[in-house]
A and B are shown apart, each in its own frame.
Chain A
Amino acid sequence: MAGIVGYGAFIPRHRIKAEEIARQWGKDAAAIRRGLLLEEKSVPGLDEDTITISVEAGRAALERAGIDPRLVGALYIGSESHPYAVKPSGTVVAEALGVGPEVHVADFEFACKAGTEAMFVALSVVESGRAEYAMGIGADTSQGAPNDALEYSASAGGAAYLFGKPHVLAEVVETYSYTTDTPDFWRREGEFYPRHTGRFTGEPAYFRHITAATKAILERTGLKPSDFRYAVFHMPNGKFPLSVGADLGFTKKQLETGWVVPTMGNTYSGSSPTGLAAILDVADPDDLILITSFGSGAGSDSFVLRATELLPERRGRAPTVRSMLEGPRRYLTYGQYANYREKILLNE
């Protein structure tokens, strides 16, 4: 059975606290922390983007797999912040990882679910026998407009998953995808920031798609929420994933390991994949794990995974998600943040 043979994550070391953003705009920080359950978020440095995050996460995935990078036959990167409009991020990432040139490469885009989309296709390539190994990455340096609710959450980071058949760390038991045309959040070509429809992003978008995908994959596998040790849902803020999880019958204990959003923020395409990496960092053999992503527009991908005996001995080969969230950090003022996000413009 095909599965994950290596995984890795990367989170930039710069942070801004919700208080600091609230102070800038004269908002009530306590209300934001209470309402959105967000403490701080990661911020990319001036030298970090989807490509650099993907390379670091991809290197960690290769370390954990311990394979020759030249055996990777496909590389897909999902992001809504690919640095080039025309020239795939995957070309640079493949070259840096030492994958290829005999490799199939593509960049994906599907708002916040582009990462699981890349994973889904990478898995399919391996299952079909087209390639021995295939990598799917979700990474973003997310944009939120200044003084918009998204500014408290839009952050930077990502995770890479290498799929293969021998020596899997987690088997993929089942997958399921659910997509409709729902205009909850979008960005037109040439616009700086995405637009969203406020409360409409909740019930008809996030909750409907995650619920439908999760219920369908449970039905297909004949599993019930209590069969799982861990579950992770896309994390646009702190509140939504806990709330959709509770509606579906999952407990806080099943959700809290992958619930990395309060201190990481929403890394868009990297959000649920990074939550999954945090789960793989601690899961025991035979634990069942559920991941359901959500991407505006809108759709959800669901995976049911089962950890293997190999997982505990392999995960020590690369840094854990929690070590990056709780390790050395640099706190920014709003002014430094504005500079890092290139909101301060100079003459050419």
Chain B
Amino acid sequence: MPSPRYWREVPARYRLEAGRCVGCGAVVYPARRICPACRGQQFERLALSRRGTVVTSTVIHVAPTEFQMEAPYAMAVVETPEGARLMVQVADCEPNEVGPGMEVALEFRRIRKEGKSGILCYGHKAVPVR
């Protein structure tokens, strides 16, 4: 990902800032211009709780080249208490343990490196709450 695009996404990636539709209250992450529920165009900023529940998950065995040293790893759709859903890696556990209903915390992690000399990209991953 080119650095300027990563930079624009910093509030969402670093602080989990989402948008709440002023019209219908729907919470969308990342924030959008138009509400998918009511087509409203007015949003207020909202920082998501750093916890949630796994809605669905899968295990990646054949990973993209830059993540091959991490495979196998679990990816999950996590729903936060605000109702926002995000796709995140589930770290610090055996990938097969991850499944719907699992309680997770969202922790700050390095997501990728832009090659050997590029920038480091940060964001959130889920870890099981035990």
Contact status of A46 and B122, CB under 8 A, knowing A52-B109, A56-B108, A95-B14? no
Contact between A14 and B110, CB atoms less than 8 A apart: no
Contact between B69 and A344, CB atoms less than 8 A apart: yes
Interface size of B as a range: 20 to 34
Q: How far is the CA of A56 from the CA of B108 in the complex (A)?
A: 7
Q: Is A98 in contact with chain B by the CB < 8 A criterion?
A: yes
Contact between A98 and B69, CB atoms less than 8 A apart: no
| Chain B proximity of A79: nearest CB distance (Å) | 14
Q: Which residues of the other chain, B, contact A330 by a CB distance below 8 angstroms?
A: 92-93
Contact between B108 and A45, CB atoms less than 8 A apart: no
Contact between B120 and A96, CB atoms less than 8 A apart: no
Contact between A52 and B115, CB atoms less than 8 A apart: no
Contact between B115 and A348, CB atoms less than 8 A apart: yes
Contact between A339 and B69, CB atoms less than 8 A apart: yes
Please, what's the 1-or-0 string for B89-130, where 1 marks a CB less than 8 Å from any CB in chain A?
Answer: 101110000000000000111110001100010100101101
A54-96 interface (Cβ within 8 A of B): 55-56, 59, 83-84, 92, 95-96
Q: How far is the CA of A95 from the CA of B8 in the complex (A)?
A: 13
Number of interface residues of A (CB under 8 A): 26
Contact between B70 and A96, CB atoms less than 8 A apart: no
| Chain B proximity of A46: nearest CB distance (Å) | 6
Contact status of A96 and B130, CB under 8 A, knowing A56-B107, A56-B108? no
Q: Is B15 in contact with chain A by the CB < 8 A criterion?
A: yes
Q: Closest residue to A44 on the B side, CB-wise?
A: B110
Contact between A47 and B116, CB atoms less than 8 A apart: no
Contact between B116 and A52, CB atoms less than 8 A apart: no
Q: Is B38 in contact with chain A by the CB < 8 A criterion?
A: no
B67-98 interface (Cβ within 8 A of A): 69-70, 89, 91-93
Give 26 CB contacts A-B under 8 Å.
Answer: A12-B92, A13-B92, A14-B92, A45-B91, A46-B69, A47-B70, A47-B91, A47-B125, A48-B109, A49-B110, A49-B120, A52-B107, A52-B108, A52-B110, A56-B107, A59-B50, A83-B120, A95-B14, A96-B14, A98-B15, A98-B47, A328-B130, A330-B92, A346-B69, A348-B115, A348-B116
The 8 A-B residue pairs with the shortest CB-CB distance, nearest first, are A55-B108, A47-B109, A96-B14, A13-B92, A47-B110, A328-B130, A52-B108, A52-B109
